[in-house]
Amino acid sequence: MSDQVQSKLLKRMSTIKHKILVLSGKGGVGKSTVSTQLAFSLALSRKDIRVGILDVDICGPSIPKMLGIDKNEVFTCTEGWVPVKVKLSGDDDDNRLCCMSIGFLLQSEDDAVVWRGPKKHSMIQQFLEDTYWGDLDALIIDTPPGTSDEHITLAEILKESKPDGAIIVTTPQGVSLADVRKEINFCNKLGIPVLGVVENMSGFACPCCNEITNIFSSGGGRKLAEQFNIDFLGQIPIDPQLASCEDEGKNFLQSFPESASAKELENITNKIKKRITLL
Amino acid sequence: MSDAPVDANSTCVGPKSEQAGKASSCEGCPSQLLCASGEGRKEDPAVNQIKDAMRIVKHKFLVLSGKGGVGKSTFSSQLALALSLNDKIISKARQGQAAMDEDEDEDMNVTQVGVLDIDLCGPSIPRMFGLESQQLHQSNLGWSPAYYKDNLAVVSIGFMLPNADDPVIWRGPKKNGLIKQFLRDVYWGDSLDYLVIDTPPGTSDEHITVVQYLREADLDGAIVITTPQDVSCADVRRELSFCKKVNIPVIGVVENMSGFVCPNCKNETKIFKPSKSGGGEKLAEQFGVPFLGRIPLDPRVMNACENGKSIIEEMPDSPASQALLEIVQKVKNQTNHLHQNKTF
């Protein structure tokens, strides 16, 4: 990276107070869900907090759909790309939650982004360099599964501007935990602090008889956190309502504030806020 | 057909053309010098080497999905296990019965199956077969796979890591190198009837590389996995566009985690509801590709998978096993059909 690029990046990142990565070795464990819900939850927790979400999953961007803004486009101003705003219901200021994703740059939602590493690298660099976030309290960066190009790029680019750390998402299954162990070692190797582990899809309460079944077994996340001596942030149960809210792009926390999943999400958010001293 | 890159201008002659870098339309193109050097006309020798190495394999398919965690590895391993079972077990299982031990017939035709895991950053296949502690060995014939049983061979990067928790922090080119070696240097035996290739999520290096190398080597096609959710279907739509773009046939779409049957009250809940899009079946219809079937969520199945057991063998009465049997049959029919078309 040239010095010019580096200084531009540092300047861009200097208006963002906290930078949080959401990582997982395995796919489909709920990284994007945790990212969006955490962003919502942070923004809803206080009226003067501004949150951004950056989706660096170049080949499978899901964030726009989950936020219900998948039909939007990105505009440019003299300062750079303007991220797409998300309106929170009951909020007059519509400038408190915004998002940047490659999904906004595609012609059709069926378009496959068939790119090798170097092209993904430049796209991510451009996202970080050219997006005009303005002043943000927190930027949540959602990543694809694995420990490859996207992750190495992020770690390299953000090294100077010091991210607060990474939230690791897992399901309780053995297969997922094995991949997540790799991800934690990745963080250690690259010097990214781990903020904690979230266990997603923890158990399913049958809506008919309320019997709780641990479809993907249970408790694995807590054990993992103990093993690596990192914080365990919480367990989010499987909730069909959460899944359908995402499909429809509705705000789950505002639609079902009383559900067990929403409560647990709030809990997790509070722990993270304490951890990064955003109070 | 021109091999011009998709983002080139419309008059691009393509890097393989004799005119590459010299045509009038090349003026001002950033790749002009590279094209003029003739590098683009050089064939990668590995393409032909892999074609040779793959001659012993009758059917090869990719298991793809745009989204992670939808069950690619689970499906790949269960498909391979099902393909490796003999006809007697299969026909018993069709009636929902487990086969007896004395049913084993020594001189029956044995189907040779191989599984290749090209998910290099998150290999789950060793675990799915209960082979975590195995290693790949090198002989003068090539790399020899780990064997789940006599007629089921498995290759994964998981067998090459000194420590299971070690992350593989590799950028694309290094991944491509290893995939090339897997395709070229593994000694699968004298012949294989089926090779199932499990992939990571997405449409990036691993996928481009494997398709590039296998295009010349008679790839049967891809099986695309999705869950019923809209979010997953959106990613899978991209995967189907990818297949179209790189011109590989789609054997069909499988919808996994279709519903959950509560073990207590037997009431079925659609955890991952298809809301607008109608799930996998609708998706297959839209893209004009076959829909192979739905596999419901079943905690027992999950257990069997994590312990490296074939669900068809272990619990033939489960709805998931019956669904899988149907799908395997369809895959077999499809690929045989494809093969007949090819030979004439």
Contact B79, B71 (CB under 8 A): no
Residue A129 is encoded by which pair of tokens?
């360099």
How much is the ipTM here? 0.86
The Cα–Cα gap between B218 and A143 comes to 34
What is the pLDDT, as a whole number, of residue A138?
96
What is the pLDDT, as a whole number, of residue B1?
39
Per-residue b or e along B246-262, where b marks 16 or more CB atoms closer than 10 Å to that residue's CB = bebebbbbbbbbbbbbb
The Cα–Cα gap between B101 and A62 comes to 48
Quote the minimal CA–CA distance from A30 to chain B in Å: 9
Residues B224, B297 share a domain: yes
Residues B133, B273 share a domain: yes
Taking residues A33-47, report their average pLDDT. Answer: 92
Is A185 inside any structural domain? yes
Whole-number Cα distances in Å, A226 to A53, A168, B271, B314? 29, 14, 30, 34
Residues of chain B with pLDDT under 70: 1-3, 6-7, 100-108, 273-277, 338-344
Residues B201, B227 share a domain: yes
Domain that residue B26 falls in: 1-41
Is A66 inside any structural domain? yes
Residue of A nearest to B265 (CA): A209
The string of DSSP letters for B174-209 reads: HHHHHHHHHHHHB---S-EEEEEEE--SSSSHHHHH
B67 is in an annotated binding site: yes
Higher-pLDDT residue of A249 and B205 is: B205
Residue of B nearest to A188 (CA): B167
Q: Please state the pTM of the whole predicted model.
A: 0.89
DSSP-assigned beta bridge partners for residue B114 = B153, B195
What is the pLDDT, as a whole number, of residue B194?
96
Is A237 inside any structural domain? yes
Strands B192-198 and B152-155: unpaired
Within 8 A of B275 by CB-CB distance, chain A residues are 244, 247-248
Residues B78, B20 share a domain: no
What is the pLDDT, as a whole number, of residue B188?
95
Using CA atoms of A91, A94, A100, A104 in order, give the dihedral in degrees to the nearest 10.
Answer: 110
What would the pLDDT profile of B242-268 be if each residue is shown by its tens digit?
A: 999 899 999 999 999 888 877 777 777
Contact A52, A35 (CB under 8 A): no
Contact B198, B63 (CB under 8 A): yes
Within 8 A of B265 by CB-CB distance, chain A residues are 206, 208-209, 211
- Phi then psi for B293, rounded to 5 degrees? 150, 175
Q: Please check whether residue A250 touches B, CB under 8 A.
A: no
> At what angle are helices B279-287 and B230-245 packed, to 10 degrees?
20
DSSP-assigned beta bridge partners for residue A194 = A166
Structure letter (DSSP) for residue B39: G
The mean predicted confidence, pLDDT, of chain A is 91
Residue A234 is encoded by which pair of tokens?
């919480």
**Measuring CA to CA, which residue among A180, A214, A209, A212 is closest to residue A197?**
A180
> B260–A213: do the CB atoms touch at under 8 Å?
yes
Question: What total of structural domains would you count in chain A?
Answer: 1
What is the pLDDT, as a whole number, of residue A249?
85
Within 8 A of B121 by CB-CB distance, chain A residues are 25, 145-148, 182
The Cα–Cα gap between A254 and A267 comes to 15
Residues B52, B25 share a domain: no
The Cα–Cα gap between A103 and A111 comes to 9
What is the pLDDT, as a whole number, of residue B69?
87
Write down the residue that tokens 């590098």 correspond to. B39
Degrees (nearest 5) of the Cα angle A47, A231, A19?
A: 45
Residues B52, B17 share a domain: no
Residue A206 banded pLDDT, cuts 50, 70, 90: confident
> B202–A207: do the CB atoms touch at under 8 Å?
no
Within 8 A of A147 by CB-CB distance, chain B residues are 121-122, 167-170
Residues B137, B208 share a domain: yes
Is A125 inside any structural domain? yes
Strand runs labelled E in A14-142: 16-23, 51-55, 75-77, 80-82, 84-85, 97-101, 136-142
> B171–A117: do the CB atoms touch at under 8 Å?
yes
Taking residues A258-270, report their average pLDDT. Answer: 93
Within 8 A of A202 by CB-CB distance, chain B residues are none
Number of H helices, E strands in chain A: 10, 11
What is the pLDDT, as a whole number, of residue B344?
40
Residue A273 banded pLDDT, cuts 50, 70, 90: very high
Residue A184 is encoded by which pair of tokens?
């934690």
What is the pLDDT, as a whole number, of residue A164?
94
Give how far the C-alpha of residue B153 lies from the chain's centroid of Cα atoms, to the nearest Å: 15
Domain that residue A130 falls in: 3-273
Contact A251, A40 (CB under 8 A): yes
Strands A80-82 and A75-77: antiparallel
Higher-pLDDT residue of B3 and A28 is: A28
B35 is in an annotated binding site: yes
Residues B286, B204 share a domain: yes
Residues B93, B18 share a domain: no
Residue A202 is encoded by which pair of tokens?
């923890």
What is the pLDDT, as a whole number, of residue B343?
46
DSSP-assigned beta bridge partners for residue B153 = B114, B147
Residues B52, B34 share a domain: no
Contact B152, B115 (CB under 8 A): yes
User: What CATH number did the domain enclosing A35 receive?
Assistant: 3.40.50.300
Contact A88, A251 (CB under 8 A): yes
Whole-number Cα distances in Å, A249 to A25, A67, A245, B25? 25, 5, 6, 46
**Measuring CA to CA, which residue among B258, B227, B283, B234 is closest to residue B72?**
B227
**Measuring CA to CA, which residue among B336, B254, B273, B260 is closest to residue B74?**
B254
Structure letter (DSSP) for residue A126: H
Taking residues A207-225, report their average pLDDT. Answer: 81
- Phi then psi for B123, rounded to 5 degrees? -75, 120
Contacts across the A-B interface (CB distance below 8 Å): 208
Contact B62, B222 (CB under 8 A): yes
Residues B123, B9 share a domain: no
Is A278 inside any structural domain? no
Element at A87 (helix H, strand E): none
Contact B234, B283 (CB under 8 A): no
Residues across chain B: 344
Minimal Cβ distance to B169: which of A114, A117, A152: A152
What is the pLDDT, as a whole number, of residue B272?
74
A59 is in an annotated binding site: no
| Residue B204 CB coordination number (10 Å) | 27
Residues B153, B164 share a domain: yes
A 154-213 → B contacts, CB under 8 A: 171, 173-176, 178-179, 181-183, 185-186, 189-190, 204, 206-209, 211, 213
The Cα–Cα gap between B211 and B245 comes to 11
Is A279 inside any structural domain? no
Whole-number Cα distances in Å, A116 to A41, A142, B205, B231? 35, 19, 5, 23
Question: What total of structural domains would you count in chain B?
Answer: 2
